[in-house]
Amino acid sequence: MIMERVLTLVLLCVLSAWANIPDVEKVSVIGRTETELTFQWKVENSSYSYKLATNVIGDIPINASEAEYLNYTVSPLSPGTNYSFTLYTVFENYTSKGFYFSNVTTPSNVNSVSVIDRKENQITLQWSKVNNSNDYGYELYWNEENSSIPISQTNTVEYNVTSLDAGTEYFFTLYTVFGHVMSSGYSFTNVTMPSNVQDVNVKLNDTEMILQWDVVSNTNNNTYTYTLENKDELTVNCTNQTAEGNEVTCHISDLTPATNYSFTLYTEFADLRSTGFNFYNITTLSDITEVTVNRSQTELTISWNKLNNNDIYNYTLKSQGEGSEKNFTGSAVGDVITHTYSSLTPGTEHSFTLFTVVNKAFSRGFSFKNVTTLYCTSFNWTVTNSSIEAKVNGSTYVKAQNSTGSVKNGTVNQNSLTLQGLYPGGSYNVSLFYYLESELLPQCTHHLTLDPYSVSHLRCEYHSGGYGLAVIWDTPYGVVDRVQVDVDRKSFNKSYSSEKQIRLEINGLQAAKKYTVTATSFSGSRRSQTVSVNCETDPAGVIAGVLVFFLLVIIICVAVFAWRRYGSAKRNKMTNPLVEPKVPNKNYKPLPLNKFPEHYQNMSRDENRGFSEEYETTPLECISPQKMRVILIISMLITCLATAMQADSILLLKVHCHPLSMISGEWFGRKDHRPSSC
């Protein structure tokens, strides 16, 4: 120990003799803050102490240290300042030459950074210079990037951070740089502006809108919110905003029809909203699409249901013909709105347009037409047995339906109505229609009965021994309720019968008399044309009577003749033979009965010349007994016939006295003689 001290003293004596103490080789800055600098240097000899000379604080004595390295902290210093030092090594009264070095304290951070502008891909920052000094530089770090900010000459620094993503939060750190030393760093966050939606899809009607848009995409999958604003400050409420997948739907209701709604749709992120997507849409104004029209001859009543059952709509009903318009306030009427146009002309067409009106905006209008109905009885109907015609107005189509349901179509051409090919005597319901916009509107219905056909083949037959007639006719085609036969100012009715041939027997007429027989067919109150025929009652009875009369005359004549002849012969003792005929009777041959008709015809030729001649050649006063016999036979025959006729048997007459009736017919000038019958 003593030895060591002695050696050191010896060395020091030597060194001091040389007067040469070494400086530290190097001073390192091992710690730096804004107000402190910590140095470290290597200790060469534990006997050495040190003296640090500074320009701001003065000399600082530093005690000797046993350690290999000596740390020393200088404070308080000013931030961001360059300090110069000289470190002396001290031994006894000797000092080294001094080691000079300088270094800087840490600069201060900026006080604050203002975000003065935020765009979709740029944020503008602004801050005041630290210490208002131009000595400092600034460096900005964000996410994985950084940037040195150029030194500006003004008091504030403004910097645009560019190439950012929209709607993203960024974490920034701003460092103050002095020399190579950076401040601790000023950190802050802020966001870029989100983008607008690309497009809004709008579905709308009168009172509702459904808006739909895709969410705004971004690299960080941030969730944005959306705000819809209405520029006109009308109460628009996106009450039902739903996001499903990448779509957002907003349902707006209770809008006013025919109104322009302007919207701005904002995307919102943090405290920032997008510039706004502007659009507008106009709610529609619907038309009434269905009206009911009640029609009569002079009135049209129009009614419709309130549109969408909503009171907001007003209505204007215009009638083109009248040129009039009528307003209806939706809130002041019931669910069904009705209006009647009256005092119209029957069968006239009327056009209407119904508008819905909201705030003086008119819908396109629903147009419709209608036509007043008709009084069918006002037309002059011409009815024949197969057709119906009339001059009509207010009808374009006609059809007729009969009681069996069969329908006949007619035509209406320029107001002339024609129905043809109808069933004679048929009863028809004639219906008039008006063809309006592919709809057949019934106008009126009229009941008409057609004229029946006249009876055909009207003819008579003898009946009731001449005191009546059988009137016969063929049933005509068509409907005939009854046939009225008029004879001798008396009417007889024959009601409908399905037989083909009708026979009506009429009694109480006079025999052998001409009658005009007329027949008229009826269907309901309609009558056919009257047909007539001249008939004659059977004259046979009269002939018989006349013949009987003649017979009686002849018998009386013969009796008188015989009485006178035989009476005088008795008186002449009956000696004379029978008086010979003055005229030779070779001309008179006996005639067989079956030859009589032929003979009769011969004799009646040439205006009965044969008879005339025969008569003239017949001697008046004398008839031979032979002739008498012939006359008697004829008389008896006639009597027989007359009896038969009295028995009212035409058939008998036909069989027994065909030739005789012919004679009698000729003799009594019968004209409507028919060969086929008696």
Ligand X SMILES: *[C@@H]1O[C@H](CO)[C@@H](O)[C@H](O)[C@H]1NC(C)=O
Q: Is residue 359 close enough to count as binding ligand X by CB under 6 A?
A: yes
What gap in Å lies between CA 409 and CA 397, rounded to an integer?
A: 8
Among 45, 71, 146, 393, binds ligand X (CB under 6 A): 71
Q: Number of helices (H) and strands (E) in the chain: give both, helices first.
A: 6, 48
Nearer to ligand X, 4 or 271 (CB): 271
Given the rule CB under 6 A, which of 200-208, 385-393, 502-510, 567-575 is the region that contacts ligand X? Answer: 200-208
Sign of CA dihedral 117, 122, 127, 129: negative
* Residue 593 C-alpha from the chain's centroid: 97
Among 237, 260, 345, 532, binds ligand X (CB under 6 A): 237
Number of residues that bind ligand X (CB under 6 A): 49
Q: Is residue 221 close enough to count as binding ligand X by CB under 6 A?
A: yes
Question: Considering just the CA atoms, what is the radius of gyration of the chain in Å?
Answer: 74
Nearer to ligand X, 194 or 347 (CB): 194
Closest CA to 172 of 195, 196, 140: 140
Q: Is residue 143 close enough to count as binding ligand X by CB under 6 A?
A: no
User: Residue 634: CB partners within 8 Å, gap ≥ 6?
Assistant: none
Give the bridge partners for 413, in sequence order: 416
DSSP readout, 301-334? EEEEEPGGG-TT-EEEEEETTTTEEEEE-GGGS-
Q: Is residue 493 close enough to count as binding ligand X by CB under 6 A?
A: no
Output the six-digit token pair for 395.
Answer: 């009808």
What gap in Å lies between CA 433 and CA 439, rounded to an integer?
A: 9
Q: Is residue 90 close enough to count as binding ligand X by CB under 6 A?
A: no
Among 235, 572, 575, 576, binds ligand X (CB under 6 A): 235
Closest approach of Cβ 271 to ligand X, in Å? 6
Query: Where in 416-475 is the site for ligand X (CB under 6 A)?
Result: none
Output the six-digit token pair for 613.
Answer: 């001649």
What gap in Å lies between CA 451 and CA 494, rounded to an integer?
A: 17
Output the six-digit token pair for 45.
Answer: 């000899």
Among 115, 215, 634, 652, binds ligand X (CB under 6 A): 115
Closest approach of Cβ 382 to ligand X, in Å? 47
Given the rule CB under 6 A, which of 128-136, 217-225, 551-559, 661-669 is the region that contacts ligand X? Answer: 217-225
Closest approach of Cβ 251 to ligand X, in Å? 5
What gap in Å lies between CA 280 and CA 341, rounded to an integer?
A: 42
Contact predicate 551/635, CB 8 Å? yes
Q: Is residue 12 close enough to count as binding ligand X by CB under 6 A?
A: no
Q: Is residue 251 close enough to count as binding ligand X by CB under 6 A?
A: yes
Residue 380 exposed, middle or buried by CB count within 10 Å (0-12, 13-18, 19+): exposed
Nearer to ligand X, 237 or 345 (CB): 237
Site track 123-142 with ligand X (rule: CB under 6 A), x = hit: -x------------------
What gap in Å lies between CA 310 and CA 331, rounded to an integer?
A: 8
User: Residue 603: CB partners within 8 Å, gap ≥ 6?
Assistant: 609, 610, 611, 614
Closest approach of Cβ 255 to ligand X, in Å? 9
Q: Is residue 308 close enough to count as binding ligand X by CB under 6 A?
A: yes
Q: Is residue 160 close enough to count as binding ligand X by CB under 6 A?
A: yes
Closest approach of Cβ 420 to ligand X, in Å? 50
Closest CA to 206 of 252, 275, 250, 171: 252
Long-range contacts of 399-402 (CB under 8 A, 24+ apart): 399/430, 399/431, 399/433, 400/428, 400/429, 400/430, 400/431, 400/448, 401/428, 401/429, 401/431, 402/426, 402/427, 402/428, 402/429
Contact predicate 194/230, CB 8 Å? no
Q: Is residue 67 close enough to count as binding ligand X by CB under 6 A?
A: yes
Q: Is residue 29 close enough to count as binding ligand X by CB under 6 A?
A: yes
Q: Is residue 312 close enough to count as binding ligand X by CB under 6 A?
A: yes
Nearer to ligand X, 124 or 305 (CB): 124
Q: Is residue 386 close enough to count as binding ligand X by CB under 6 A?
A: no
Among 102, 134, 198, 406, binds ligand X (CB under 6 A): 102
Q: Is residue 28 close enough to count as binding ligand X by CB under 6 A?
A: yes
Given the rule CB under 6 A, which of 307-315, 380-388, 647-655, 666-674 is the region that contacts ligand X? Answer: 307-315
Given the rule CB under 6 A, which of 236-244, 366-374, 458-466, 612-620 is the region that contacts ligand X? Answer: 236-244
Contact predicate 465/645, CB 8 Å? yes
What gap in Å lies between CA 311 and CA 334, rounded to an integer?
A: 9
DSSP readout, 639-678? HHHHHHHHTT-HHHHHHH-HHHHHHHHHHTT--S--TT--
Q: Is residue 171 close enough to count as binding ligand X by CB under 6 A?
A: no
The type of residue at 568 is S
Q: Is residue 240 close enough to count as binding ligand X by CB under 6 A?
A: yes
What gap in Å lies between CA 585 and CA 622, rounded to an integer?
A: 13
Helix/strand/coil for 586: helix
Among 153, 155, 219, 575, binds ligand X (CB under 6 A): 219
Q: Is residue 604 close enough to count as binding ligand X by CB under 6 A?
A: no
Given the rule CB under 6 A, which of 215-223, 338-346, 468-476, 522-530 is the region that contacts ligand X? Answer: 215-223
Among 220, 289, 495, 594, binds ligand X (CB under 6 A): 220
What gap in Å lies between CA 602 and CA 441, rounded to an integer?
A: 80
Q: Is residue 568 close enough to count as binding ligand X by CB under 6 A?
A: no
Closest approach of Cβ 369 to ligand X, in Å? 22
Closest approach of Cβ 332 to ligand X, in Å? 8
Output the six-digit token pair for 627.
Answer: 């002739």
User: Residue 554: CB partners within 8 Å, gap ≥ 6?
Assistant: 631, 635
Nearer to ligand X, 68 or 606 (CB): 68
Q: Is residue 86 close enough to count as binding ligand X by CB under 6 A?
A: no
Among 156, 329, 340, 345, binds ligand X (CB under 6 A): 329
Among 49, 81, 96, 103, binds ligand X (CB under 6 A): 103
Given the rule CB under 6 A, which of 218-226, 391-399, 495-503, 590-598 is the region that contacts ligand X? Answer: 218-226
The type of residue at 361 is A
Among 63, 93, 155, 380, binds ligand X (CB under 6 A): 93
With b for 16 or more beta-carbon neighbours within 10 A and e for fewer, the 522-550 pattern comes to bbeebebeebebebbbbbbbbbbebbbee
Closest approach of Cβ 122 to ligand X, in Å? 6
What gap in Å lies between CA 624 and CA 630, rounded to an integer?
A: 10
Among 45, 78, 84, 239, binds ligand X (CB under 6 A): 239
- End-to-end alpha carbon distance in the chain: 206
Nearer to ligand X, 217 or 420 (CB): 217
Among 5, 163, 223, 360, binds ligand X (CB under 6 A): 360
Q: What are the residues binding ligand X (CB under 6 A)?
A: 28-30, 40, 67, 69, 71, 93, 102-103, 114-115, 122, 124, 158, 160, 189-190, 202, 204-208, 219-221, 235, 237, 239-240, 242, 249, 251, 271, 279-281, 308, 312, 314, 316, 325, 327, 329, 357-360
